[in-house]
Structure 1
Amino acid sequence: MKLFTTHVIVTFSLVLGVTWSSLAQNLDSTRLDSLSNVYAEYLHTKPQIAEEAAVQWLKESRRLNLNLQEARALYALGNLGNITGDYKSTINYTYKAIALLKKSNTEKGLAACYNILASAYKSLGEYPKAIDNFMECLRYARLTNSQTQEANAYQNIATLYLLQKDYKKSAENLDRAADLYRSIGDDDGVLTTLFNFANILKEEGKFDQAREHYQTVLEYRIKEGNKAVVAYININLSQMLVVEGKCREAIIALEKTLVLLEELKFHSDIAIVLNDLGLCESKLGNTKSAINYFQRALAIGEKQSLFQYKSDIYKNLAQLYQKENNYKKALEFHQKGVASVADQNSLDKEKYVVKIQERYETELKEAKIQLLEKEQKLSEAELQKVELTVKRQKLIRNVLIAGFTLVLFTLIVLRLFYIQRLRVQKELSLQQEENAKQQINKMINDHKLSVIERYQEGQEEERSRLAREIHDGIGSDLASIKIAFEHYAEYHEEDVKSKRIATAISNACIDLRSLSHQLHPLSFSKIGFTSFLSDFIDQIIKKSNIKIQTFFFPREDIDLLPDELLADVYRIVQELINNILKHAEASHVDVQLTKHKDHLNIVVNDDGIGFQKIKSKA
């Protein structure tokens, strides 16, 4: 029954260098700048005035044949459509702006265009197109060194993950955006990321924390007079009331928000508020009012192509008509809901097939290129043979003209020369082929080594991150619990259960610390590798009935080895001992590390059962 939508606002800026002709220096430039300023001033307060200014801006730019100013005006109209919910117009205007910029060989401004284009596709539920355009935005942002647009793209990508309920990745992208905003001193961008963090908390059901963030942003936006963002925040606050079952409070807040949205003419958001009002009225038992709200929301959703809302609204209407015993209408809307979901699934399937087909065509093109290269090499070899044949024919003809008596001698000389030339060419070809093979093998080996190193670095970074999270998060909480319980136990010393619980907490702290160190050991330079490894072995001895004897020689030289090498040694010894504990049934283990001149020798012996030799029958 519930249609729960998160609103995300991302600020966009399009900065284009404009080359003015000498005829447009004075009056025309003042006129265009004035229209641009009017658009910016009323964008979030009176979008109708902003739209009129942008349309006039576009007409003047076309009249003066100023392509870059025309692109700016098209972008402005696209951005306005994105804010008011007219996503089809956003896509139309933005594609025209991109075409003009590329025609003018202007990269600056493309990042902003791809950003709002992707945002429009996201709002229409076309996520593959959205992510493709966000990737283009990031590419052009880096090409033009536009940190603002790069941050905007990260923020929008975060909203895609939020829609897919991948809150971790959403928060990671918001962190990237916030870092970029802070580095360039963009306080407005930082404030926007705070709004988006509130959306994550809302989706996770942490309403109290979400309200605190929303209120912080709301205070700033009210001071600015930014009605658009004020409306979006009120929508989210109202939706939390709906989820909490406070429908009457939610209706009052939603009706106020609806008035503001109708003033701003934000059609898509009006549909969402109408849907939420329908949900509230339905829960309060006001079926006719609920149906009215849902019908109004559906009319706007169909007009604006808001496919992601239609199926839920159809289902809501079907259930309400069923309550009214109007089974014909209930069946009609139920079938529409099923068809809408089927259409969306079919569309997703088609998108997947298209993606697979694109990959296949790419691989096919690469194969064709390789084949053409081989054919080109063969053609060059044949051409060389033809050239040699022509030379030989010319020589024979000249010899025949010179005299018949010299023909035999000339043929013998040519024969010897030709054979020798083939031998030299063959040897040269073999040598070149051998050199090429060696270079290819070297490149392959270098690539494999590079891949392995990157994989190991990635593993180590992930271990380090997990260790930090365990130590700083769970470890810190467990330590706090331990301190609190010890304070409690001071007044209950005679309680046997308290002592057992205190012991269990202490053991848990030790185990957690051990797990953290196993995932990512501390820098060996602080306590010495051999001491660190000895501590690890001592912990194993305490937890099991096995005896482990260590031998490190020379200790000082081993401790001076690089941390990267010692980390690998630690992992090897750790894995070997764990395998012995799991499988060997041993009672005694010897661990030896011996440092030689150019290598480190690792020996781990145990008195376990070993491997069973099974002879296969012929």
Structure 2
Amino acid sequence: MTLFPTSFIVSVCLVLGITLSTSAQNTDSIILDSLSNVYGEHVHTKPQIAKEAALQWLKESRRLNENLQEARALYALGNLGNITGDYKNTIKYTYETIALLKELRIEKGLAACYNILASAYKSLGEYPKSIDNYMECLRYARRTSNQVQEANAYQNIATLYLLQKDYKKSAENLDRAADLYRTIGDDDGVLTTLFNFANILKEEGKFDQARKHYQTVLDYRLKEGNKAVVAYVNINLSQMLVVEGKCTEAIMALKKTLGLLEEVKFNSDIAIVLNDLGLCESKLGNTKSAINYFQRALAIGEEQSLLQYKSDIYKNLAQLYQKENNYKKALEFYKKGVTSVADQNSLDKEKYVVTIQERYEAELKEARIQLLEKEQKLSEAELQKVELTVKRQKLIRNALIAGFIFVLLTLIILRLFYIQRLHAQKELSLQQEENAKQQLKKMINDHKLSVIERYQEGQEEERSRLAREIHDGIGSDLASIKIAYEHYTEHQKEDPKSKRIAAAINNACIDVRSLSHQLHPLPFSKIGFTSFLSDFIDQITKRSDIKIQTFFFPEEDIDLLSEELLADAYRIVQELINNILKHAEASHVDVQLTKHKDHLNIVVNDDGIGFQKNKKQGIGLRNIKERLQKVKGTLDIDSNSGHGTSITIDIPIN
């Protein structure tokens, strides 16, 4: 469960960073501002009133053709959906906000939009879309120096790691968020990170420590009157009671929380509480009450598309119906639960379904046997006669099968001995020939790798020599020319031509220095690999019409990789970008580096003209393959003419 700081949602205008001219304080602007204030006052306590105010706000903004006010109102509706669990409307209104802000060429509010969009996708269980939008949030937050949104993104990324039970990385991201909140003096944000730290302790089973943190948050929010957060804290406290087996105590706490949630109409959280109430009633043996709670939770889950909770509810209902020997309904609900969760163990699902299905079919067979007994009125003697006949037939059949198997095994053994005698000499000869081929192949591969290594070492030495020549020769000459020209024009009258010449000389110095660094960069441990690669790509973007986006995840871990590996990665990306500039005719390129446990993954996508796989490959691609052959990496190319190209490369870390 993700919480946003109060400063993040109380005033939509502040979050988006959009202000209106003070000279426009007429009647219409006063109405719009009053609707904004009504929304801010009721967003945590009376969401229905807040929604009505936001809808009226949106309507009036469009009537008056106030685009900035329209963006604020759309964002308010999206944010409200994220709070109340109406995630479909969150996605709808937030995408409209993003489109309008981009149309107005306003970047300052985009980080906040991508943050709530990612949170909505996370709540719907669409984690790849969620992490993509969090990365967009971080990108825009850094571009606009918005530390609040950067901290919010880190905090929510931490909740994704928590769902994967990676508590260490979750805590690391929360630490990043807390440091940013402290830097900007956002005590409310620090308090929210404390809530999420308590969630980690709860998942780890450290309930006493978790309760301490939850109580701190609860005391503060009760004073503040924030009913939403009070409800979230009580849900987590109740869930710990359920795990500890204190079901009676948990039911009392959950019912109190349910009343609070129904008051503010937070439907998605109501579904969670109803599910927990069902679990408690089930453990206490109150099957009918448990089924009733699960059915109510399921109805809300269907409406809100809460896949992760629907799965739990389906399986809980299946277990309850199984206890009542209603295997038909048990099978029906378990199948629904299985299909709604893709990451469950398929073997366990099949075993459980088969178990229920066998019991259900056994129940049907027993009913049929009883019906046949009544209709045909078979006597006990006749049934025994049938059993004896069946046993006799089984004995005859088993004897025939055993005799056939014995004869077949004898023939197979004789055939095997015969084949072994015929092929013994031939197999020995083939084995010797194969050994010779393997030895020759190994020698060829070793020689080929040695040639590739010497060739690449020669390339690096030549690049280093050229870099020195350019830096010490041309670079020094240009620097001297620049100094001489500046000395010459120092006492001259300023004119546009002199300024253009000075700017041209300065640009030439920058280009020569950049070319020198590209040919032979400093050790990446000193300059930071991701920063260096980003600067290289930014320079290419400035010199061409192509748009290149870079993604590093996680950035800090990539910078800590070995110099040799990072050098290979840099040369590979450099070759791929140069090939795209020369041949692809692309307008957009994505470069993504992701560090995994045992390898570095590089993905480069472009929207260019593509190429045929069977076409003769150029020197650049051949150099990449030779470099990957040296480090035992892999290369995969997905391209067709007219449909762009996607290249995926994996380089082993160890």
1:17 deviates by 2.5
Alignment of 1:59-138 (within 5 A): 59-138=59-138
Q: Is the 8 A contact 1:9 1:229 kept in 2?
A: no
**Count of paired positions:** 364
Aligned-partner residue type, residue 55 of structure 1: L
1:243 aligns with 2:243: yes
Report the CA distance between 1:7 and its aligned residue: 5.1
Correspondence for 1:17: 18
After the TM superposition, which residues 571-586 of structure 1 pair with which residues of structure 2 at under 5 Å, given as runs? Answer: none
**Equivalent position of 1:337 in the other structure:** 337
CA 1:344–1:56 in 2, change beyond 3 Å: closer, same or farther? farther
Q: Given that residues 318 and 330 in structure 1 are in contact (C-alpha distance below 8 angstroms), is that contact kept between their aligned partners in structure 2?
A: yes
Tell me, yes or no, if the aligned pair for 1:151 and 1:181 is still in contact at 8 Å.
yes
3-state SS of paired residue (2:340): helix
Encode CA deviations 1:284-314: one digit per residue, 9 max, x unaligned: 0111111111111111111111111222211
Inter-partner Cα distance in structure 2 for 1:85 and 1:138: 24
Structure 2 residue matching 1:447: 3-state secondary structure = coil
Distance 2:199 2:166 in 1: 12
Residue of structure 2 in register with 1:155 after alignment: 155
Per-residue CA deviations over 1:352-378 (Å, capped at 9, x if unaligned) read: xxxxxxxxxxxxxxxxxxxxxxxxxxx
TM-score normalized by the length of structure 1: 0.56
Where 1:341 maps in the other structure, the secondary structure is coil
Equivalent position amino acid for 1:446 in 2: H
Supply the distance in 2 between the matched residues of 1:190 and 1:294 (Cα, whole angstroms): 36
Larger relative contact order (Cα-Cα within 8 Å, sequence gap ≥ 6): 1
Partners of 1:18 and 1:69 within 8 A in 2: no
Aligned to 2:225: 225
Partner SS, residue 241 of structure 1: helix
Q: Distance in 2 between matches of 1:165 and 1:106?
A: 37
Name the CA distance, whole Å, in 2 between partners of 1:131 and 1:290.
Answer: 36
**Alpha-carbon distance in 1 for matches of 2:44, 2:235:** 16
Partner of 1:302: 302
| Compared CA separation, residues 325 and 41, structure 1 to 2 (3 A) | same
Unaligned runs of 5+ in 2: 10-14, 347-511, 530-555, 562-654
Report the TM-score, using the length of structure 2 for normalisation: 0.53
Map 1:540-559; keep pairs closer than 5 Å. none
Q: What is the rounded CA distance, in whole Å, between the counterparts of 1:147 and 1:440 in structure 2?
A: 31
Closer, same or farther: CA 444–99 of 1 in aligned 2, 3 Å: closer
Corresponding position: 1:216 with 2:249? no
The residue aligned with 1:165 is: 165
Question: What's the offset of the Cα at 1:16?
Answer: 3.0
Give, in angstroms, the shift of residue 315 of structure 1.
1.1
The 8 Å contact of residues 7 and 232 in structure 1, kept in 2 or not, is answered as no
* Residue 193 (str. 1) matches residue 193 (str. 2): yes
Partner of 1:276: 276
Q: Distance in 1 between matches of 2:343 and 2:314?
A: 14
CA distance in 2, matches of 1:176, 1:127: 21
> Are the aligned partners of 1:16 and 1:72 in contact in 2 as well (CA < 8 Å)?
no
Cα RMSD over matched residues?
A: 2.7
Does the CA-based 8 Å contact 2:125-2:308 persist in structure 1?
A: yes
For 2:304 and 2:51, how far apart are their aligned partners in 1?
18
Asked if the contact 1:278–1:293 (Cα under 8 Å) also holds between the matched residues in 2, the reply is yes
Once the two structures are superposed, what CA deviation does each residue of 1:107-134 show, in whole Å capped at 9, x if it has no partner? 1111111110000001001111111111
Note the C-alpha offset of 1:29.
Answer: 1.6
- Letter in structure 2 aligned against 1:139: R
Kindly provide the amino acid, as one letter, of the partner of residue 266 in structure 1.
F
CA distance in 2 between partners of 1:179 and 1:58 (Å): 36
Which residue identity does 1:82 align to in structure 2? N
Cα distance between partner residues in 2 of 1:296 and 1:195: 28
Counterpart residue identity of residue 329, structure 1: K
CA positional deviation for 1:15: 3.2
C-alpha separation between the residues in 2 aligned to 1:60 and 1:251?
Answer: 46
Which of 446, 464, 473 is the aligned partner of 2:520? 446
Cα-to-partner distance string for 1:563-587 (whole Å, 9 max, x where unaligned): xxxxxxxxxxxxxxxxxxxxxxxxx
Would the aligned equivalents of 1:16 and 1:109 in 2 still touch at CA under 8 Å?
Answer: yes
Q: Secondary structure at the match of 2:205?
A: coil
Matches for 1:168-187 after TM superposition, within 5 Å? 168-187=168-187
Per-residue CA deviations over 1:97-155 (Å, capped at 9, x if unaligned) read: 11110000101111111110000001001111111111111111111111111111111
Q: Is the 8 A contact 1:310 1:337 kept in 2?
A: yes
> How far apart, CA to CA, are the structure 2 residues paired with 1:99 and 1:54?
19
Q: For residue 313 of structure 1, what is the aligned residue in structure 2?
A: 313
1:204 and 2:195 aligned: no
Shift of the alpha carbon at 1:25? 2.7
Deviates further, 444-453 or 234-243: 444-453
Q: Is the 2:307–2:341 Cα contact (8 Å) retained in structure 1?
A: no
How far has the Cα of 1:205 moved from its partner?
0.7
Corresponding residue for residue 264 of structure 1? 264
Measured in 2, the distance between the counterparts of 1:286 and 1:308 equals 24
Q: Tell me which moved more, 6-15 or 149-158.
A: 6-15
Q: Which amino acid aligns with 1:263?
A: E
Change (3 A) 1:207 1:69: same
Contact 2:525 2:560 survives alignment (8 Å) = no
Aligned with 1:291: secondary structure? Answer: helix
Segments of 5+ residues of structure 1 without an aligned counterpart are 1-5, 347-437, 464-618
In 1, Cα distance between the equivalents of 2:191 and 2:336? 41
Q: Report the Cα distance in structure 2 between the residues aligned to 1:30 and 1:190, rounded to whole angstroms.
A: 34
Work out the CA distance in 1 between the residues paired with 2:5 and 2:293.
Answer: 29
C-alpha distance in 2, partners of 1:77/1:345? 38
Q: Structure 2 CA distance, aligned partners of 1:328 and 1:62?
A: 54
Structure number, greater radius of gyration: 1
Question: Deviation of residue 335 (structure 1)?
Answer: 1.6
Do the aligned partners of residues 156 and 331 (structure 1) sit closer, same or farther apart at CA in structure 2, a change above 3 Å counting? same
Q: One-letter code of the match for 1:159?
A: T
**29-38 vs 8-17, greater mean Cα deviation:** 8-17
Which residue of structure 2 lines up, in the alignment, with residue 549 of structure 1? none
Paired residue secondary structure (2:105): coil
Asked whether the equivalents of residues 4 and 152 of structure 2 are also in contact (C-alpha less than 8 Å), the reply is no
Amino acid at match of 1:91: I
Counterpart secondary structure, 2:325: coil
Cα distance in structure 2, aligned partners of 1:440 and 1:160: 39
Alpha-carbon contact 1:10-1:155 (below 8 Å) kept: no
**Preserved CA contact (<8 Å) 1:84 1:265:** yes
Output the CA distance in 1 between the equivalents of 2:266 and 2:256.
14
